[in-house]
Amino acid sequence: MLTDRQLLILQSIIEDYIQSAEPVGSRSISKKNSITFSPATIRNDMADLEELGFLEKTHSSSGRIPSQKAYRLYVDRLLLPYRFSEPEMNNIQSLFAGKILEAEEAVKETAGILSELTSYASIVLGPEMFESRLRQIQIVPIGKEAAVAVIVTDTGYVENHTVALPPTLEAGELEQITNILNERLRGIPLYQLQRALFSEVRDVLKRYVFNYEAALSFTEEALRKSRHEKIFYGGKTNLLNQPEFKDVDRVRALLELMEEEHLIHELLKPTINGMTIRIGQENTNEAFEHCSIISATYSLAGKPVGTIGIVGPTRMEYQKVISLVNHLSYGLSNVLDDLYRRDS
């Protein structure tokens, strides 16, 4: 159990190191206005904190740096709410004050604001397709051999992909297929579309479309999804500006991992817990062991549908980042609710 004095000294060391990225000595701590203890007392407490695993000594300096254990205690017990500066607040408010037409646009803008205000890398998972329902499908011919299937969800998410057009399918039949799909599948969750195709659409196609088998195969491909969500990144190169990532091999491994979308999805998948803070080796993947990842779920109509996250060094501005992620997840949830009400 740490004393109040030790907690205050540890907090000062952590905040000093976060700002300077330089090992912290007792002399610099003793000069702070909030510290009224002598350098000798501070040195003794720093020695005790090191013995307890909260501080580490570097080889190049007599100063100390916080351990991952120290950051965890700092986050859990010592953080105060962050007060945004006027420019920061204006930047945040401008994101939600503008006229946003689609959920994807809101998510993309959030990723940009996150990286800009933190100087770290941001990752935002788009609205989860398991929580999204089909609002409309359009099938647009682009010549005689292909068509573009455009799927729009009730969250404003838009996905399009090219589908081979069967030579036996006529233009009139294509329009009829589109009408049947919109009539029968509107409001169906996206992950159930393939099943609903056979339970709700197949018999209708058989009744109204002459080239039934070709139409069914084409429709199945048009409704096929390669991914359940989109991932948006912001400021990946910001990591290169952090002293911790001057090691080329380390940052290369990190950036390569961030391209593995299935791993990122698993890392940041929406949860009912709201905010998640993983510090250093609390991240199970080795490439993230020198990083902290702070993420928060955003929702639609009270249900978790996506996640916004920040990746940075363990020497992270936790006070600012936690407040920012929390603020933006709340704001993004409100934007999605407004879009949903508008389109309902």
pLDDT class of 303 with cuts at 50, 70, 90: confident
Residue extents of the structural domains in the chain: 4-78, 86-128+229-343, 130-222
Cβ contact 321:86 at 8 Å: no
32: left (phi over 0), alpha (psi -120 to 50) or beta: beta
Q: How many CA atoms lie within 13 A of 68 on its CB side?
A: 15
Determine the angle formed by the axes of helices 103-118 and 318-343, rounding to 10 degrees: 170
Q: Between 88 and 248, whose confidence is greater? A: 88
Asked whether residue 114 carries a pLDDT value surpassing 90, the answer given is yes
Q: Do domains 86-128+229-343 and 130-222 have the same CATH topology?
A: no
Asked whether residue 298 carries a pLDDT value surpassing 80, the answer given is yes
Asked whether residue 319 carries a pLDDT value surpassing 90, the answer given is yes
User: Among 149, 99, 75, which residue's Cα sits nearest to residue 326?
Assistant: 75
**Ranges 33-42, 92-101, 124-133, most confident:** 33-42
At 225-240, the pLDDT tens digits run: 545 567 889 998 898 8
Tell me what the mean pLDDT of segment 51-62 comes to: 84
Tell me what the mean pLDDT of segment 64-69 comes to: 96
Cβ contact 66:74 at 8 Å: yes
CA pseudo-torsion sign 68, 69, 75, 80: negative
pLDDT score, position 212 = 82
pLDDT score, position 226 = 47
Instruction: Return mean pLDDT, the chain.
Output: 86
pLDDT score, position 182 = 93
Q: Flag the least confident range among 125-134, 194-203, 247-256.
A: 125-134
Q: In b/e form, how buried is each residue of 273-300, taking b as 16+ CB within 10 angstroms?
A: eeebbbbbebbeeebbebbbbbbbbbbb
DSSP label at residue 189? B
pLDDT score, position 158 = 82
Q: In b/e form, how buried is each residue of 7-30, taking b as 16+ CB within 10 angstroms?
A: bbbbbbbbbbbbeeeebbbbebbb
At 3-31, the pLDDT tens digits run: 999 999 999 999 999 999 999 999 899 98
Cβ contact 101:336 at 8 Å: no
Fold of 86-128+229-343: Beta-Lactamase (3.30.450)
What DSSP letter does each residue of 108-134 carry, written as one string? HHHHHHHHHHHSSEEEEEPPPGGG-BE
pLDDT class of 287 with cuts at 50, 70, 90: confident
With vertex at residue 253, the alpha carbon angle to CA 108 and CA 243, rounded to the nearest 5 degrees, is 85
At 76-86, the pLDDT tens digits run: 999 988 999 99
pLDDT score, position 304 = 82
Looking at the chain, how many residues does it have?
344
CATH 3.30.420.10 fits 130-222, yes or no: no
Asked whether residue 151 carries a pLDDT value surpassing 80, the answer given is yes
What DSSP letter does each residue of 198-211 carry, written as one string? IIIIHHHHHHH-SS
329: left (phi over 0), alpha (psi -120 to 50) or beta: alpha
**Bridge partners of residue 307, in order along the sequence:** 125, 297
Cβ contact 315:79 at 8 Å: no
Tell me what the mean pLDDT of segment 274-301 comes to: 89
CA pseudo-torsion sign 109, 110, 113, 115: negative
Is residue 344 packed enough to be buried (19+ CB in 10 Å), middle (13-18) or exposed (0-12)?
Answer: exposed
Please report, rounded to a whole number, the percentage of residues in the chain having pLDDT higher than 70. 93
At 191-211, the pLDDT tens digits run: 678 888 888 888 888 888 888
Q: How far apart are CA 330 and CA 328, in angstroms?
A: 5
Q: What is the CATH number of domain 4-78?
A: 1.10.10.10
Cβ contact 239:311 at 8 Å: yes
User: Among 300, 297, 233, which residue's Cα sits nearest to residue 270?
Assistant: 297
Q: Taking the CB of residue 157, how many other CB atoms lie within 10 A of it?
A: 23
Asked whether residue 46 carries a pLDDT value surpassing 90, the answer given is yes
pLDDT class of 128 with cuts at 50, 70, 90: low
pLDDT score, position 18 = 95
